[in-house]
Amino acid sequence: MAGKRGRASGESVGRRSTPRRVVVRPKPSGHVPSVEIRPDLIEPFLSDAAHVPGGFAAGIAFPQSAGEVAALVASAARVLPIGAQSSLTGGATPRGEVILSTRALTGVTVFSDNQVRAGAGVPLSELQRVLTARGLYYPPVPTFDGAFVGGTIATNAAGAATFKYGSTRQWVDALTLVLADGSLLELRRGEIMASLDGGLELQDQSGRIVRVQVPTYPMPAVAKLSAGYFARPQMDLVDLFIGSEGTLAIVVDATLRIIPMPRRSVALVICESDRQAISLTAALRNEAAKSWHGDGSLDVSAIEYIDGRALAKTPDGAFVRAGVARPNAASTALLVQIEIRGDDDRALQRLMEVLTKCGVEDVPYFAAPGDERGARRLLELREAVPSAINALVAAAKARVDPQIQKTAADLVVPFERLAESIALYRSCLESRGLDYALWGHLSDGNLHPNVVPRSMDDVERGREAILEMARGVIAMGGAPLAEHGVGRSALKQQLLRELYGDSGIEEMRAVKRALDPTWKLSPGVLFPEPRRHED
């Protein structure tokens, strides 16, 4: 798929005020793939996991190479790239564009024990299958592992293990991209950095130069962030495209870092309260940090949290399948993933010591090191929680009002502010008389408060609560857009504005305008499309 790497011209990395420049390759040869317009072929692609109604498309195409992607983009007026459509933001729901499905951009090449190249259309589950056969692993996996490589790069997806491994961004070494005019950009991390004054330049074959100005807003210092364009002085051009949600370019393939497959053990720990769950998580994070510095054996990579309200709404069958007794109503569950080195059983001994120290009385449920089936069974309990809430939302929609929608937040705070943030979420929801459930990636400070709406009024009040929570987490140095992105959700776009202000949105729009002057790629994603006279 990818050809020769693009060459940089210009000075030493980011030292002077002249921007570094990358030369874009002309449109690679390739036929325009056929654009299907039959309604029955388009219909399955008119919605994503946000289930926003009213999707419509001009057609759908399944390009098989960078050349075909480029030819399609060059020939179309409006294009929406899609992966597995697991977006929770409506970002992968078409609004009249030609849908560019990446599912035929397959192909996985393992270069070495630490690098793999994968097509944008490779599902992460398939990537892991190929890697597992070689004892290798790609760490930044979201809870839904059917997501595609391209979709996870476009949203800077992050999973449970972000506190150990970081988000997708940290694992991308190189990208092959198709820009809005159909030209090809091949970028390798470390080659093209913004100048001191925040300038980046792209030069096409005719010598025309496009200047991109890196936005100036400060990004919050949190474990994960999927909130519009990455912006940092002297940043790497690769980072501008990661997390840009398909608005600046189409990801055709990516070169990703990989590691040896860790051997894991999973423990399900029942805590008597939020307070105990938070202090245990803090203690386990400390243990993990020590082990990474060679001082200790308890290498914890992820701690997932399910609150008592979420447990109460999870059907009995999920507990039966996990082999776990339903905890009492006041309890909170933590799923702790531990990486085990060799045959070292000191990690599990140390876990028991930490549990005792934190006053946890119930004996945890364990999947022993290497017992992947057992680990999956316990982790499926976590996955049963969003499914249970989605089923309740769907039932209210069917029974009460078809306008009822999933009303959920994706909030992250610096870990030190976690207890305060949970208190804030509960008070914002309870003061409005809302039923809700709370779960998420506790070790990252990233939780998903979900309203369980009984009426359209609950949905409205839930949105107000999310706005209040968002303002609260921003004041704590956190972010209201942690891992799912912004997409076409009016509420999430409002949260982006709360985070960076009108001026931040204008700076993002200037980046978009420079790279995609006709607003061809994913129009209306991240921020509204300008009215005709504005741009």
Ligand X SMILES: Cc1cc2nc3c(=O)[nH]c(=O)nc-3n(C[C@H](O)[C@H](O)[C@H](O)COP(=O)(O)OP(=O)(O)OC[C@H]3O[C@@H](n4cnc5c(N)ncnc54)[C@H](O)[C@@H]3O)c2cc1C
Residue 236 · residue 189 · CB < 8 Å? yes
- Please identify which residue in 30, 243, 386, 478 interacts with ligand X, judged by CB under 6 A: 386
- Please identify which residue in 6, 55, 63, 81 interacts with ligand X, judged by CB under 6 A: 81
Give yes or no for residue 106 binding ligand X (CB under 6 A): no
- Backbone Cα Rg of the chain: 23
Name the residue among 492, 387, 405, 401 with its Cα closest to residue 52: 405
- Please identify which residue in 47, 65, 155, 314 interacts with ligand X, judged by CB under 6 A: 155
- Please identify which residue in 45, 62, 138, 144 interacts with ligand X, judged by CB under 6 A: 144
CB atoms within 10 A of CB 525: 28
Q: Which is nearer to ligand X, 7 or 376 (CB)?
A: 376
Say how far apart CA 21 and CA 499 lie, in whole Å.
30
Give yes or no for residue 525 binding ligand X (CB under 6 A): yes
Q: Which is nearer to ligand X, 2 or 157 (CB)?
A: 157
Q: Which is nearer to ligand X, 121 or 364 (CB)?
A: 121
Please say whether the dihedral angle defined by the alpha carbons of residues 372, 373, 376 and 378, taken in this order, is positive or negative: negative
Give yes or no for residue 158 binding ligand X (CB under 6 A): yes
Binding mask 475-514 for ligand X (x = CB under 6 A): --------xxx-x---------------------------
> Residue 302 is which amino acid?
A
Give yes or no for residue 338 binding ligand X (CB under 6 A): no
DSSP for 458-471 reads HHHHHHHHHHHHHH
- Please identify which residue in 70, 147, 280, 404 interacts with ligand X, judged by CB under 6 A: 147
Q: Which is nearer to ligand X, 20 or 224 (CB)?
A: 224
Q: Which is nearer to ligand X, 142 or 453 (CB)?
A: 142
Question: According to the 3-state scheme, what is the secondary structure of 127-161?
Answer: HHHHHHCCCEECCCCCCCCCCEHHHHHHCCCCCCC
Q: How far is CA 73 from the centre of its chain?
A: 25
Q: What phi and psi, each to the nearest 5 degrees, are found at residue 271?
A: -105, 155
Give yes or no for residue 88 binding ligand X (CB under 6 A): yes
**Beta carbon of residue 493, minimum distance to ligand X (angstroms, whole number):** 13
Interacting positions 354-373 with ligand X (CB under 6 A): none
Interacting positions 230-269 with ligand X (CB under 6 A): 245-246, 250-251
Give yes or no for residue 84 binding ligand X (CB under 6 A): yes
Binding mask 32-51 for ligand X (x = CB under 6 A): ----------------xx--
**Beta carbon of residue 94, minimum distance to ligand X (angstroms, whole number):** 9
**Beta carbon of residue 441, minimum distance to ligand X (angstroms, whole number):** 7
CB atoms within 10 A of CB 328: 11
**Beta carbon of residue 80, minimum distance to ligand X (angstroms, whole number):** 6
Say how far apart CA 499 and CA 479 lie, in whole Å.
7
Q: Which is nearer to ligand X, 302 or 367 (CB)?
A: 302
What are the Cα distances from residue 528, in Å, to 252, 437, 486, 489, 515? 25, 31, 11, 10, 16
Strand, helix or coil for residue 297: coil
Q: What phi and psi, each to the nearest 5 degrees, are found at residue 36?
A: -75, 135
Interacting positions 276-305 with ligand X (CB under 6 A): none
Give yes or no for residue 458 binding ligand X (CB under 6 A): no
**Beta carbon of residue 7, minimum distance to ligand X (angstroms, whole number):** 23
Say how far apart CA 229 and CA 499 lie, in whole Å.
12
Number of residues located near ligand X, criterion CB under 6 A = 39
Candidates 147-155, 326-334, 419-427, 454-462: pick the segment binding ligand X (CB under 6 A).
147-155
Candidates 58-66, 84-92, 303-311, 332-340: pick the segment binding ligand X (CB under 6 A).
84-92
**Beta carbon of residue 224, minimum distance to ligand X (angstroms, whole number):** 8
- Rounded to the nearest 10 degrees, the angle between the axes of helix 418-430 and helix 456-475 is 150
Say how far apart CA 191 and CA 201 lie, in whole Å.
13
- Please identify which residue in 45, 62, 138, 148 interacts with ligand X, judged by CB under 6 A: 148
Give yes or no for residue 450 binding ligand X (CB under 6 A): no
The answer for residues whose C-beta is within 8 angstroms of residue 44's C-beta and 6 or more apart is none
DSSP for 401-441 reads -TT---EE-BEE--GGGHHHHHHHHHHHHHTTT--EEEEEE
**Beta carbon of residue 406, minimum distance to ligand X (angstroms, whole number):** 10
Give yes or no for residue 142 binding ligand X (CB under 6 A): yes
User: Which residues contribute to the site for ligand X (CB under 6 A)?
Assistant: 48-49, 80-88, 91-92, 102, 120, 142-144, 147-148, 150-152, 154-155, 157-159, 245-246, 250-251, 386, 483-485, 487, 522, 525
